[in-house]
Amino acid sequence: MKHILMLLSMLIGICAYSQTVCKFQKPRIQAKDGRLVYVSGKENVALWGVNYQPFSGWVYETHLKRLHIPYDFPSLKKVIDEDFTDFKRLGISIIRIALTPSRMTDKDGNIFENTYVELLDYLLYKCRCEGIYVHLTLATDIGKPPYAEGSFAADIVNFGNQKENAKFSGRKLAHMIYSPEKSKIFIRYVKNLFSRINKFTRTRYSDEDFFALIEIINEPPVLKRGMLNYAPFASTMALYKAFLKENALADNQEAFERFAGNRVKTFIDSICNTIKAARAETPIFWAYNWRGFMTDKRWLHLAVCDSLADGVSYCLYPGQDDFPSKPDWFNLPEFTNRNYLSYIAATPKYISEVLDAKANGKAVVVYEFETWCNRSGYLYPAMAALFKSTGAQTACMWTYVPRVAAEYNFCLTHFLNIHTTPEKALSFAIGSEAFAHASAPILNADKTICDFGIGKSFFESKSSYALFDGKFFCVGNPPSLPNAKDISNIHSFMCCNNNQFTQYDGTGIYGIDSKKGTFNAFAYHDVLMKDIFKIPPMQKRIIISPGKGKIHTRELDRFPPTIDKINRPSFKKLSGISAPAKN
């Protein structure tokens, strides 16, 4: 009876959307000769976007549960619909969705039809309809209960005491990679996922043409020799002993690394073969994690390079290393006034394995990036130019804050929303242009200015600009801009704060689009940022007000000198939302 009701629920959902199934209007992406390429053969793949999944355990618990938003389909669908109205303006062309198997699988890797899965289907449907590609990560350890009852991915691998549990952090995902029993269930989960039909797109996951890439595991942990001494890895220890005997090796670090590398390659190849057997054509990636993670793991790097994976991914977080290990969450440091352009310049030497993987025929993407405790307007474009110079072809910021929670900004270290962080949001939009069209970043002698070809970033004024293909972007008031002749033929601009060409009386993002002599002026809300790094988390850190004023232009002959008929995007609250819950 339970399965019959579940099937009826799916059929009802399919019927409800039978008139709204849409086609993806962009070409499929495939891997070829160490690159991501469009099957149409046109253009370069260069996709800029965000991590976004408001129904995941971490995002929901951190942002939405505190606002009393129910964990149900109608409420979270509304969150998704609202945020998608803002994505196009920011130049978002890809969304990374990191799945949490513990919320949707049973002990055997079968997938439940629950609210999490329904919202996943709907988010993918929205990406298809809006022409946004998807970076799909098959498993992450980030998340909180409630888990699906009996899920294989919810098992806590207990090493017996708190000290050992802390020592071997990330153990759940390590179990999936290195334990033969868990690996088999994980492979079964992957098989079930790609044979599943999305209830809104009415297409098997293996056939979805808007998947740009599949990443196997978010930040896969590394097996340590000491882990094999504990009961959860008894079967892995048995494999290790058999490996030593078969190869006449002594139990030492060199032999262990050789064994661990073989296990990683076997796991990656099994996943690749499983996905390909499902007739999926999407490129498959393995994560190299954060800057410097691979430095002392040559064995792992060689295993990945020798695997069937089409590419590798990495992340970048300027400021993370400066963050205190035991922060006072009501009194955090702010890194807006610290210069991280030198950090950008030094990054290639810390990702040498990424560059070597590319030289060995692997494509490269960036699975996460963010400015840490930093709300300035200079850093995103420089990061975008760096990513492009390393050969990365997609990059997804962690993580876009849902509009309904943006004024509270419950996660201080990472925050981006077009309505509440205008300078940062506009620099993100400039980053989109830089990622697609910039040259390699060139820094001046004291590393305070980054030239990326189509524009520049300036640390001292916390500003940046880009000029490309008739579009002008500017955040802050840069000390130098293109001359009036170069900018006179633009057909659109988007700015934040005043500069020598455009002015606006408010504090939000503003701009003008023009087509065939008609002008569409837009302006976002006025924004008042409190001391956002020092306010208790249940208070509003950012205040939104309607905004008023006129857009003025100087030396831009194509536009009227003053425009006051301005379209102001709404900042609606979800219906039924009350004040934040008290801790």
Residue 13: predicted pLDDT: 47
Contact 51, 400 (CB under 8 A): yes
Distance CA 387, CA 145 (A): 35
Mean pLDDT of the chain: 91
Residue 546: predicted pLDDT: 87
Contact 413, 324 (CB under 8 A): no
| 12, pLDDT greater than 50 | no
Q: Is the peptide bond before 146 cis (omega within 30 degrees of 0)?
A: yes
Q: What is the mean pLDDT of residues 539-567?
A: 90
- DSSP state for residue 157 in the 8-state scheme: -
| 541, pLDDT greater than 70 | yes
**Residue 582 — very low, low, confident or very high, per pLDDT cuts 50/70/90?**
low
| 240, pLDDT greater than 80 | yes
| 170, pLDDT greater than 80 | no
Task: Write out pLDDT tens, residues 135-153.
Answer: 999 999 766 677 888 888 8
**Residue 164 — very low, low, confident or very high, per pLDDT cuts 50/70/90?**
confident
Which helix (H) or strand (E) segment holds residue 367: the answer is strand 363-369
User: Which of 1-5, 209-213, 546-550: highest mean pLDDT?
Assistant: 209-213
User: Which of 8-17, 433-442, 539-548: highest mean pLDDT?
Assistant: 433-442
Which positions ≥6 away from 389 have C-beta within 8 Å?
348, 440, 441
Q: What is the mean pLDDT of residues 47-71?
A: 93
- DSSP state for residue 402 in the 8-state scheme: P
Which pair of structure tokens corresponds to residue 493?
């601009």
Angle (nearest 5°) at CA 396 between 395 and 400: 155
| 575, pLDDT greater than 90 | no
Q: What is the mean pLDDT of residues 112-126?
A: 97
Listed residue (429, 480, 241, 448) closest to 343, CA to CA: 448
